[in-house]
Amino acid sequence: MRPLNLSLLAAVFAATSGSAYAQQLPATTIGEMAETPLVRVNIAESLRTPPDEASLTVGTQVKAPTAKAVVAASKTRTEKLLAAIRAAGIRDKDIQTQGLQLSQDYTYDRQPNGGAQQRLVGYIANNSVVIKTRDVGSLTSLLDGLTEAGADTVYGPNFSIADPAPLRREARVRAMARGIAEATEYARNNGFAKVRLLSVEEGVSYRGSDIVVTGSRISQASAPPPPPPPAPERDGGGIVAPGQIETAVQLNLLYRMEH
C-alpha cells in the first residue's frame, strides 16, 4: 500500500463534510479513502467581449394648470418621442412604457410675517419609456435624436450581451479542461496516475442561484462557438464607450484519484 498523505486526506474530509452533494457519494471506509482519496478544485473562467446591446430609460416632463391638460400634453410629447424612437430603428418589442406619474405643482407665496404659503399652480406629468437597441455603435446619434425629440431625462446606457449562452459554453469547456489538469497534477504529486470526475457544482455569475449537476462522466465537448464580433464604431468615439462585458462561470469539481 502506498504511504497515506494524511494532510491531503484531512483536507478532503474537511472540504467534503457538510456538503450536500458530497453526501450523495457512495459511503467509503477510511481504508478505501486511503487507497483512492478525493481532490476538489474550484475553477473560475471568464470571457470578456464587447456588448452587442444597450438599454436606455428616457422620459418626458410637462406642466399644465389642470390634470386633464397635463395628461393631454404628456400624451402628445410622449407620442413624439416614441415616433423618434421607432424612426431610429428600435423595434416595438424593444419599447416598454415604464409608467406615467402625475403630481401636484406648488409655489410658495411670501407672507408679510416672513413666512410662506403653499399654493397649487398646476400639475406635473412624468412619462418614461425603456428601450433596447442592438446598434451599439450608433448610441451617440440615438441620444442626440431622443433629446431633439423632447426627452427631458435619459438614464443609461446599460450594456449587455444579447445571447451569452455561447460564451458560457466556451467558459465551461475551458473551466473543465483546467479542472482536470489541476486535479491530475495533484494526483500525480501524490503517487496516483489519473483522476475520475465524481461531481460538478456550477455557480454562474449571471444567475441569482447555483445550478447543481452531478454525474460520473462528462461527454466529449464540441468546439465552442466564437465570441460575437465587436460592434462597429460609427460615432467617431462620441461620449459613449461600451468597453467589454464579462461572462463567467465557476465550477466546483470533485475527483477521485486512481492508480
Angstrom distance (rounded) from CA 117 to CA 93: 47
Which range marks the domain in which residue 94 is found? 53-160
Q: Of 110, 128, 160, at which residue does a domain stop?
A: 160
Residues 18 and 76 in one domain: no
Q: Are residues 95 and 132 in the same domain?
A: yes
Residue pair 78/129 in contact (Cβ under 8 Å)? The answer is yes
Strands (E), 66-205: 95-110, 116-133, 153-160, 194-204
Confirm if 249 and 202 have CB atoms less than 8 A apart. yes
Q: Residue 7: its pLDDT value, please?
A: 41
pLDDT, residue 16, reads 42
- Give me the pLDDT at residue 115, please: 83
Same domain, 113 and 168: no
pTM: 0.63
Angle (CA) 62-143-124 rounded to 5° is 10
Same domain, 83 and 209: no
DSSP conformational letter for 24: G
Q: Tell me, yes or no, whether 142 lies in a domain.
A: yes
Predicted local confidence at residue 175, as pLDDT: 94
Calpha distance 136→240 (Å, rounded): 9
Any domain includes 113: yes
- Residue 253 within a domain: yes
- What the block records as the C-alpha cell of 159 is 450594456
Cβ neighbours for 249, distance < 8 A, ≥ 6 positions apart: 44, 45, 46, 168, 171, 172, 175, 202, 203, 204, 205
Q: Are residues 14 and 57 in the same domain?
A: no
- Tens place of pLDDT per residue across the chain (259 aa): 444 443 444 344 434 443 333 444 455 555 555 567 899 999 999 999 999 999 999 999 999 999 999 999 999 999 999 999 999 999 999 999 888 899 999 999 888 887 888 889 999 999 999 999 999 888 888 999 999 998 999 998 899 999 999 999 999 999 999 999 999 999 999 999 999 999 999 975 543 333 333 332 333 334 444 555 554 444 444 567 788 889 999 999 999 999 8
**Domain check: are 21 and 143 in the same one?**
no
Residue 177 is which amino acid?
A
Q: H or E stretch including 58?
A: strand 53-64
* Domain termination site, one of 160, 182, 217: 160
| Residue 251 shares a structural domain with residue 210 | yes
d(CA 156, CA 111): 43
- In this structure, are 190 and 130 located in the same domain? no
Query: How many domains are contained in the chain?
Result: 2
Q: What is the domain-level CATH number for residue 90?
A: 3.30.70.2970
Does any domain span residue 254?
Answer: yes
Do 244 and 172 share a domain, yes or no?
yes
pLDDT at 30: 55
Query: Is the residue at 1 inside a domain?
Result: no
Let me know whether 121 and 89 are in one domain. Answer: yes
Cα gap 218→225, rounded to integer Å: 19
Per-residue pLDDT, 28: 52
Q: Last residue of a domain, which of 110, 144, 160?
A: 160
Same domain, 93 and 150: yes
> Do 117 and 60 share a domain, yes or no?
yes
- pLDDT at res. 100: 84
